[in-house]
Structure 1
Amino acid sequence: MTTFNPAEFAPTGLTPVEMAKFASARRASYFVEQGMRLGLGTGSTAFWLVRVLGHMVREQGLQIRAVPTSERTAEQARAEGIDVVTLQDVGWLDLTIDGADEFDPALNLIKGGGGAHLREKIVATASDRMIVISDASKQVDTLGAFPLPVEIVPFGWQATRHLIEESLLGVDVGARKSTLRMNGTQPYTTDEGNLIIDLHLSRIANARQLSLMLNQIAGVVENGLFVDICDTVVIGHPDGSDEVIDLVADSGLTDDSDASDNIFKDIAD
């Protein structure tokens, strides 16, 4: 059986911040196996994952089919020699590896700082497993310090924003400020052509409740709360070391247990 060694890829001259991102990406790549259908995330840490996987593809014969979560990740993956496919091509994924803007002790996440959380959530929930790669700065006791992205359709976006702001009055959050994400002087648009409202909440007491409420508002496409989707986080450190938080392993349950099943998995059958 072919043995793959991500440690063979060892860039030099990294800053402590970049080393931490690289260390988490390198450790997560050990979970990648020959022939996997793999979801590739978007962001500065996912960038390093694609670099490592590209080396394994070119130099070690790793064969994977990858579904990127953004156009920029797709472009990078192709440049690295990775076989890029669509979710329609493969139907279901073995594993998704992605970054996060925040994660709490239950491994609930805030994602979407890069504006790709819609595709990221679609890909993650169409996977047997999601692993998050991160540095220690993203670990929080309570979600909410990082602005929560809400992707909305352009039509009537002001009305949608007003409904979002009204709905926040009924939930336990630390603040209730919203801003339209901008790209210079123009509104930022996602790969799907939508807009993003960033919610500056400071603290989110009940992520599940907030996520469900936001997605019931007409005009909202998806929000950046990932609840009960991720079960493993790999944290990289500036000295190049890493640590793994695995909810399944720490609970003593196996991957076949009901607690680790993805509730969307039946659609792959």
Structure 2
Amino acid sequence: MASAEELKRAAGEAALAHVEDGMRLGIGTGTTAEAFVRALAVKVKDGLTVTGVSTSERTERLCREVGVPMATLENVPQLDLTVDGADEIDSRLRLVKGGGGALLREKIVAAASKRMIVVADESKLVDTLGAFPLPIEINGFGMIATYLAIQDVARRLELPCDLTLRRDGETPFITDSGHLILDASFGRIPDPQALSRALHDVPGVVEHGLFLGLASEAVIATRGGVRHLTA
């Protein structure tokens, strides 16, 4: 039986089939995205020419370490393809992302790309989003007011709401963009679009981890082989 690491590696390697010479690539964050980076680095050493834009400082460091050429989104503002992982994927390729804390940059990079491909193992497939807590990136100013406003959103949408400030040891976790993250356990999210709109209406919310209408394909590694899902 394949291990979780073997499945992630299989998904990352399968996504390479979509990478063409000369592409401007958005490169995501997380363990499955890292498997893609390592597989990509082998192709680069063999002569593949790409320019990468990372979604996090962690990914940036890995790419430079393994020899993937990198640029910033300011220098390369339009991308051909983004390859990134996900914490949950439903049958309509709606995603929950941000378990690694890079959701704002991940969404900016995905939106700047012509296509987004998600790489994941089969454990990330769900019938309904919401079992994984939804990361919500918030401004530090007015944190309590934002906290209460998110709870009000949940009440209006008749969702349970357990909010936890993400921590890094004894101190609050700080994103690469200098913000905080609230992990919100809403339970099942029957209408992700409604929740997305309502959260964006809260002034202190910088971004949230619902990725809707961004992914065009998912490469899913299963114990029976690699599956390709399309929107």
Aligned-residue offset at 1:166:
1.2
Spell out the pairing of 1:189-208 with structure 2 (5 A cutoff).
189-208=174-193
Is the 2:166–2:172 contact (alpha carbons within 8 Å) kept by the matching residues of 1? yes
Residue 17, structure 1, aligned to residue 1, structure 2: no
> Alpha-carbon deviations, 1:138-160, whole Å to 9, x = none?
10010000000000011111111
Q: What is the distance in 1 between the residues matched to 2:2 and 2:128?
A: 28
- Provide the aligned length of Structure 1 versus Structure 2: 231
Q: List runs of 5+ in structure 1 lacking aligned partners.
A: 1-13, 248-269
Q: Does 1:212 align with 2:179?
A: no
Q: Find runs of 4+ consecutive structure 1 residues off by over 4 angstroms.
A: none
C-alpha separation in 2, matches of 1:205 and 1:15: 32
Match in the other structure for 1:168 = 154
8 Å CA contact 2:154, 2:186 repeated in 1: no
Q: Which of 75, 78, 89 pairs up with 1:89?
A: 75
Flag the structure with higher strand content.
2
- Aligned equivalents of 2:158 and 2:113: distance in 1? 31
Answer whether contact 2:84 2:119 (CA < 8 A) is retained: yes
- 1:150 counterpart = 2:136: yes
RMSD: 1.2
Q: How does 1:1-269 map to 2 (within 5 A)?
A: 16-58=3-45, 60-173=46-159, 175-238=160-223, 241-247=225-231
Could you say what secondary structure the match of 2:182 adopts?
strand
Provide structure 2 residue ranges, at least 5 long, that are not aligned to the other structure. Answer: none
Overall identity of the aligned pairs, in %: 47
Q: Secondary structure in 2 aligned to 1:128?
A: strand
**Residue identity in the other structure for 2:191:** N
Tell me which structure has the larger Cα radius of gyration. 1
Partners of 2:27 and 2:54 within 8 A in 1: yes
Q: Give, in angstroms, the shift of residue 237 of structure 1.
A: 2.5
State whether residues 97 and 103 of structure 2, in contact with CA within 8 Å, keep that contact through their aligned partners in structure 1.
yes
Distance 1:220 1:119 in 2: 14
CA contact (8 A) 1:102 1:140 kept: yes
Q: Deviations over 1:5-53 (max 9, x none)?
A: xxxxxxxxx9611010000100001100000000000001001000001
Could you tell me the TM-score, scaled by structure 2's length? 0.97
8 Å contact from structure 2 (residues 53, 72) kept in 1: yes
Name the SS of the counterpart of 1:137 in structure 2.
Answer: helix
Q: Distance in 1 between matches of 2:162 and 2:148?
A: 11
